[in-house]
Every structure is written in structure tokens, then in C-alpha cells.
């Protein structure tokens, strides 16, 4: 936050573990979070989808890598 960062984009392995817990921490510290859904994975599609639903429920935004907003990074 000292660096004026307001928004963080997330991608990674284990959507339901590492990625989700990092997003939860970022939300707790008042960052705007954006998960790039097709740049993440979990052991099963069910776990991946459940994590995405939880992230959305916490106020995290979920986009796809072809989303036009990524052009402006």
C-alpha cells in the first residue's frame, strides 16, 4: 500500500488453496482483487469452481485472460 497499489491480479496453481488464501488476505487488506480464472487450476473442476464462487462471494472480481481489461495493465 505504500507503493500506491490498489488492484492485484491473481493467477496460479491450486485455485482452492494457495490462490484463494492469498486473495482472502488481499481483500482483508483492502486491495481490489481480480482472479484471472483461466490462468488458475485445481485438482478438480469442482474444487476450482467452488473456490471461484467463494472468491466472488467475498467481493473478488473474476475475469478471463481474454478480457479487454488486461490490455490496460
What is the residue-level pLDDT of the chain in tens, covering all 73 positions? 677 889 999 999 999 999 999 999 999 999 999 999 999 999 999 999 999 999 999 999 999 988 776 655 5
- Is pTM beyond 0.95 here? no
Query: Under 8 Å CB-to-CB from 9, ≥6 apart: which residues?
Result: 34, 35, 36, 70, 73
Handedness of CA 24, 26, 27, 28 (dihedral sign): positive
* Confidence at residue 69, expressed as pLDDT on a 0 to 100 scale: 64
Cβ atoms within 10 Å, residue 51: 22
* Confidence at residue 36, expressed as pLDDT on a 0 to 100 scale: 94
* Confidence at residue 70, expressed as pLDDT on a 0 to 100 scale: 64
* Confidence at residue 1, expressed as pLDDT on a 0 to 100 scale: 63
Amino acid at each position: 500500500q505504500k507503493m500506491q497499489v490498489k488492484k492485484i491480479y491473481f493467477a496460479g496453481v491450486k485455485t482452492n488453496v494457495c490462490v484463494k488464501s492469498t486473495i482472502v488476505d488481499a481483500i482483508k487488506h483492502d486491495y481490489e482483487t481480480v482472479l484471472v480464472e483461466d490462468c488458475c487450476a485445481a485438482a478438480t473442476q469442482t474444487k476450482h469452481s467452488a473456490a471461484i464462487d467463494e472468491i466472488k462471494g467475498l467481493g473478488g472480481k473474476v475475469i478471463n485472460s481474454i478480457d479487454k481489461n488486461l490490455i490496460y495493465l
